[in-house]
Amino acid sequence: MKKYRNQKSVIRVSWCILILCVIIFTSTHAQTKLTLDLTKPGFTVSPMLYGLMTEEINHSYDGGLYAELIRNRIFKDNPNTAEAWSLVREDSNSKAAIKLMAATENNIPFDERRHAITGALSTCLRLTVETPGTRVGIANEGYWGIPVKPATSYRASFYLKGSATIQPPRRPGQNTPQSSAPVINDSTAGPITVTIESNDGKTVYAKGTVNLEKNINWKKYDITLTTAADVKPTTDARFVISTNRVGLYYFNLVSLFPPTFNNRLNGNRTDLMKMMLEMKPKFLRFPGGNYLEGPLITDAFPWKTTLGHLENRPGHKGSWGYRASDGMGLLEFLQWCEDIKAEPLLGVYAGYSLNGDHINAGPLLKPYVDDALDEIEYITGDVKTYWGAKRAADGHPAPFKLRYIEIGNEDWFDRSNSYDERFNQFRTAIETKYPQLICISTIADAQYPTQKVTSGKKVAVLDEHYYRSSWDMWENASQYDKYDRTGPKIFVGEWATREGAPTTNLNAALGDAAWMTGMERNSDIIIMSCYAPLFVNVNTATATAPKAWQWDSDLIGYNALNSYGSPAYYVQKLFGNYLGNKIVPMVGENIPTQIRPISRRDSANGITTSKSVPTIFYAATKDQITGAIYLKIVNSSGKQTPVEINITGPVKIAQEAIFIVLKGDKPDDTNSISDPEKIIPVTSKIKAVAKNFTRTLDPYSVNIFQLQTMK
Ligand code: AHR
């Protein structure tokens, strides 16, 4: 009996294998053919289709795009210890110590709380020098090192005061005046040395001095440090401020900037800005993401305290396990948009935070709605408005262009189902004051049908998020072909194929590219799309600093010195650069397929039959002005695949075309900080192109044909 059952299962397995072979054979046997139909005008490609999404995650700004090199510059990252700071003692005879002095801590002696510069700069670092030896000082390790480059000028600045004799403070409620003449001990006054040096202190890359004045009050000191032309680039460096005299030295807002993009004073890293510019993004979604919401209601992105002088920015908790300096404040986000020629897409806090708390719609939510209106006024108001005048005072009199406002982030997590009412309260207020603005809902009908916004008028734009495997991307690449053309427009506001860490690999890029063909083909309804997360600092944990990233599968990686694009970055760049303004309708025939193995999740969901998934994905657009056709074809399989390309319609095609390919040998091939250009696009010219031609696509490849139509 048992033998018979075994025989039966052997026969069943053999049948399955046979059927599988037949499927594979038939699906790859006939010639794959793609027909581009130029007989009828296609839909218009959304002019905003490809953009960027950003938030403070993975040290995207602090230790990333925002060029500040000093970590924990206002000493608030950790109330218990001066993180990233250490005491420098050049010789063992010296005697010195460092200590955090937090004005806000009530359980510490009053004298230690009396050193605030502003409400934001309320914690400082004290260096006590009893015996200086040759030198003692404070060192900052930067964000996994200070980047040293040859012939480079760094702008250093810091607040400093020195005192050897502490003047008796006047305690709260104590009316006794301070002693009339403060005793100023001169010993701290004099030269203070500022260096960028190797971590062992043996190599000095750049050096200067400032003159500490005979003054017990805070003063800001500025100095430029320049490296020599023959310096070898390194991250094995620290920033040191040192003295050779006894006394008490107090430091705050210690800053060091390398040259920045467009020479902005509080600016961004040049390499990362250039990489974004090259993507030609049409918009920038900010400030999040989870970073918008905050862990608690009190931690939501505090845009008002991110404005103006750094002296007035206390920073805030952030949503990804580390404190944000808020050097990247609201105006800096807007200037970033300006610098990369992208339009801001603003997310406003909508009363829901990551711990699940929400604020009920109605009077309790009103201050948050008003706050969003203020924020919009800061961005778009003319200088006669209250917040427009503030923006002008901050250095940017011209209003920014703004058309899209996203109300919250991923509010489907709000199990109270309060979003419908919260969304409507925000939308009504925003549209009443700014009828030209379009409000985006964070709950997509297709993804969360039971939670979607149902009251009020139809929502104009829905934000959908997809973090998927490459199989999921390939399987669902045509999902938008079936979307209702009369429904809301779709903003795919976060998505990625999540394979590879910290940046994704080639297989993920093939998943992304397939998915993008689906968005591009349907860009009459998919009006905007942005990959997430954009940035990752790729440093792993060191003895003193934790691992830099919290989210695997990111687009652009970097350390303090260098940066690189993942294969997915190049897919984004190619899709953004080779894009027409009209969708060319296409028909695919004999599209090869592969069998998607049953995943653990499938089994858990009771799915026992494996699926057949395409391996060729395609989209085409035409530029009506230049006559160029941009045909994108993705081959996700490991096989050379001949594809017949057929163009119908009253046009001639130039015999020569531009061909760009991004490919690799293996799906898990990738780029990294040590091998940044393993997978990059290669551009060539191809000949003998006609209205009908055949091209064999390489395995694991993203292919772009720029064909030229002629009358
Ligand atoms: O992109 C990372 C996170 O994923 C975003 O902060 C959040 O919106 C999403 O869940």
Tens digit of each residue's pLDDT (9 = 90 or more) over 76-97? 999 999 999 999 999 999 999 9
Look at residue 711 in the predicted model and tell me its pLDDT. 77
- Report the distance separating Cα 33 and Cα 42, nearest Å: 20
**Ligand 1 center–CA 289 separation, angstroms:** 5
Q: Which protein residue's CA is at the shortest distance from atom 5 of ligand 1? A: 289
Q: Which protein residue's CA is at the shortest distance from atom 9 of ligand 1? A: 289
Residue with token string 């993004």: 281
**Ligand 1 center–CA 55 separation, angstroms:** 9
**Ligand 1 center–CA 609 separation, angstroms:** 32
**In ligand 1, which atom is closest to the CA atom of 53?**
1
Q: What is the DSSP string of 278-331?
A: HH--SEEEES-SHHHH-SSGGGS--GGGGSS-GGG---B--SSSS-B--SS-HH
Residue 28 has pLDDT above 50, yes or no: no
Q: Is the CB of 409 under 6 A from ligand 1?
A: yes
Cα separations in angstroms, 470 against 150, 504, 514, 592, 698 = 42, 11, 9, 17, 18
Amino acid (one-letter) located at 352: Y
Which alpha helices (H) appear in 409-500, and where do they start and end? 419-433, 470-476
**Ligand 1 center–CA 276 separation, angstroms:** 20
Residues above pLDDT 70, as percent of the chain? 91
pLDDT band per the 50, 70, 90 thresholds, residue 17: very low
Q: Is the CB of 68 under 6 A from ligand 1?
A: no
Q: Is the CB of 406 under 6 A from ligand 1?
A: no
Task: Answer yes or no: are the C-beta atoms of 430 and 460 closer than 8 Å.
Answer: no
**Ligand 1 center–CA 344 separation, angstroms:** 18
Q: What is the DSSP string of 380-420?
A: H--TTSHHHHHHHHTT--SPPP--EEEESS-GGG-TT--HH
Q: Which protein residue's CA is at the shortest distance from atom 4 of ligand 1? A: 289
- Which parts of 401-560 are beta strand (E)? 404-407, 438-441, 461-468, 489-497, 526-531, 535-537, 556-558
Residue 26 has pLDDT above 50, yes or no: no
Q: Is the CB of 551 under 6 A from ligand 1?
A: yes
pLDDT band per the 50, 70, 90 thresholds, residue 440: very high
Cα separations in angstroms, 197 against 227, 230, 236, 285, 493 = 10, 15, 8, 38, 43
pLDDT in tens, 171-203: 555 554 444 444 445 589 999 999 999 999 999
- For 506, phi then psi, to 5°, come to -65, -40
Q: Is the CB of 288 under 6 A from ligand 1?
A: yes
pLDDT in tens, 131-174: 999 999 999 999 999 999 999 999 999 999 998 654 455 555 55
Residue of 494, 536, 555 best suited for mutating to test ligand 1, as the one with most atoms within 8 Å of CB: 494
Q: Is the CB of 53 under 6 A from ligand 1?
A: no
**DSSP letter at 487?**
S
Beta pairing class for 526-531 and 50-53:
parallel
pLDDT in tens, 637-672: 999 999 999 999 999 999 999 999 999 999 999 999
Instruction: Give first-to-last CA distance, the chain, whole Å.
Output: 75
Beta pairing class for 247-257 and 123-131:
antiparallel
Q: Is the CB of 196 under 6 A from ligand 1?
A: no
Q: Which protein residue's CA is at the shortest distance from atom 8 of ligand 1? A: 289
Residues linked to residue 406 through DSSP beta bridges, in sequence order: 347, 440
Q: Is the CB of 532 under 6 A from ligand 1?
A: yes
**Ligand 1 center–CA 632 separation, angstroms:** 28
Cα separations in angstroms, 359 against 69, 206, 369, 422, 427 = 38, 52, 11, 8, 16
Burial of residue 279 (number of CB atoms within 10 Å: 0-12, 13-18, 19+): buried
Q: Which protein residue's CA is at the shortest distance from atom 7 of ligand 1? A: 289
Side-chain-side CA neighbours of 239 within 13 Å: the count stands at 31
Collapsing DSSP to helix, strand or coil, 509 comes out as helix
Q: What is the DSSP string of 233-273?
A: PBS-EEEEEEESS-EEEEEEEEEEE---GGG-TT-B-HHHH
**In ligand 1, which atom is closest to the CA atom of 320?**
6
**Ligand 1 center–CA 286 separation, angstroms:** 12
Residue of 52, 54, 57, 290 best suited for mutating to test ligand 1, as the one with most atoms within 8 Å of CB: 290
pLDDT in tens, 214-246: 877 899 999 999 999 999 999 999 999 999 999
Q: Which protein residue's CA is at the shortest distance from atom 3 of ligand 1? A: 289
Q: Is the CB of 533 under 6 A from ligand 1?
A: yes
pLDDT band per the 50, 70, 90 thresholds, residue 68: very high
Q: Is the CB of 314 under 6 A from ligand 1?
A: no
**Ligand 1 center–CA 49 separation, angstroms:** 20
Q: Is the CB of 42 under 6 A from ligand 1?
A: no
Residue of 56, 59, 292, 410 best suited for mutating to test ligand 1, as the one with most atoms within 8 Å of CB: 410
Q: What is the DSSP string of 212-237?
A: E-S-SS-EEEEEEEE--TTPPPBS-E
Cis peptide before 502 (omega within 30 of 0): yes
**In ligand 1, which atom is closest to the CA atom of 410?**
8
**In ligand 1, which atom is closest to the CA atom of 55?**
6
What's the chain's length in residues? 711
Residue 377 has pLDDT above 80, yes or no: yes
Residues 6+ apart with CB under 8 A from 316: 294, 299, 301, 302, 305, 323, 324, 326
